[in-house]
Amino acid sequence: MPCIGHHRFTQANIRALQNDAHPIFKRTGFEGVDDRQYAALLPVLRLASLLLTARPLLPFWWTVFFGKRKIDRSRYWAGLGGNYIAEVELRIQLSDKEAQVVLNLLDKVANRIKFKIGSLNGECLGYTIVESSIRPNDVWMGCGATITLNASEIAAYFEGVQANNTKFVVFGTQLALTLVHEVAHACGFAFAELENSDLRVSVEPIVGNQRVAELGFAWETYVFGGPFMLAHHRQDELRDIADLMQDNYICAVVKHTWDGMKTVLTAADDWPPRRYDEPEVCLHWTVPKAFLESLWSPRFWTETVPQQGRLAFRPEYPVGWVWENPKHTRGDRSVHVNGYRLFGDPNDMPPIPPGYKVSRNGLVVKRRPA
């Protein structure tokens, strides 16, 4: 895997985290996983637990649990029998009392979530489905959910555990993020009172200024500033670009304004509900290796996060590149590999942030002081 070969996580020790796994990730919640495999997964579950319950990140879960959905009757989505599109305003801050309410609800929802390992299509890392409505004494209690994790991802992680190599960190980080991404969907199911509504609405709302109704990507954007993808999942696209990048940065990307939506449903263009179509051209930003290493450090969680809040999860993104939506092919106006431009048309670029420029090879880099 060329991207993995371009860096070594020399400062990362994913066994350093010793916090308890959250009840959502309890041993009995994993079907088809033996004790040895669960023990090997514990570092990932510990990181996922910290990402789930970090104090600065709890407003997102308040939004999922209590955010008031605004129905836009002017926009109707025809999929799955027909739904109106719902929007919910993102909560910014919580009091200590409200934060504790969220933590209590996350503990409670643990009884409604199960995990299993299975084969998933393509690059799908995880998939969450509704199990059943929960109706004790005929009182609506939301829906349970089963989260399926990609068997190939689990196998790659276990391979890294045995070899104690870079895969240990790369796939461990990806699994932790995938777990919380899918838990966001499960929490949406658990607290969606669909049958009590006089209107049919989409199962998941559009959160804040997100483009699509997709709670998993909404969580990634809330935390990192955009959907987060480790580079090994784009190894073919990055094979040529890797030689242009600095070693420290070819490990992950944050995809601003693009949500990477894929679906196993046949009506892919109709899922999920959206405000507008994908942009033709946008920027992807590389994430420093040091940031990924820091996620596995107890000090990051005990010192950096309390001091910096949500900004702790927004490191400076020093290098980016232009991504072109393959749906909008425009002949020879640019040379790109599976969407990533190697050489860009300077007259056809997305907005470049102040202080950055587009280099001759298409990378977005900081301007040097005059």
pLDDT digits (tens, 9 = 90+) for 196-248: 444 445 568 888 887 778 899 899 989 988 888 765 544 444 444 444 444 43
Residue of 39, 37, 55, 46 whose CA lies nearest to 14: 46
Domain that residue 245 falls in: 2-366
Residues 317 and 256: beta-carbon distance below 8 Å = no
Which segments of the chain have a pLDDT < 70? 1-11, 72-84, 119-142, 160-167, 192-203, 230-272, 276-282, 322-351, 360-363, 366-370
- Angstrom CA distances, 118 to 125, 155, 174, stand at 10, 11, 17
Q: Which residues contact 306 (CB under 8 A, 6 or more apart)?
A: 55
CA dihedral in degrees (80, 261, 57, 49; nearest 10)?
90
Report the C-alpha gap between 145 and 351 in whole angstroms. Answer: 40
CB atoms within 10 A of CB 295: 21
Tokens 């959907």 found at: 227
Q: What pLDDT is attached to residue 242?
A: 45
- The model's pLDDT over 262-282, given as tens digits with 9 standing for 90+, comes to 333 334 455 667 776 666 666
Q: What count of Cα atoms within 13 Å lies in the side-chain half-sphere of residue 300?
A: 23
With 0.85 as the threshold, say if the pTM is over it.
no
The number of folded domains in the chain is 1
Q: What single DSSP character describes residue 259? A: -
| Pairwise CA distance, residues 98 & 13, whole Å | 34
Q: Which helix (H) or strand (E) is 181 found in, with range?
A: helix 166-190
Whole-number Cα distances in Å, 203 to 74, 187, 199: 17, 11, 12
What count of residues does the chain have? 370
Peptide bond into 351 cis (omega under 30): no
Residue 198 corresponds to which tokens in the numbers above? 């006089």
Distance CA(42)–CA(2), nearest Å, equals 28
Quick count: other Cβ atoms within 10 Å of Cβ 360?
Answer: 8
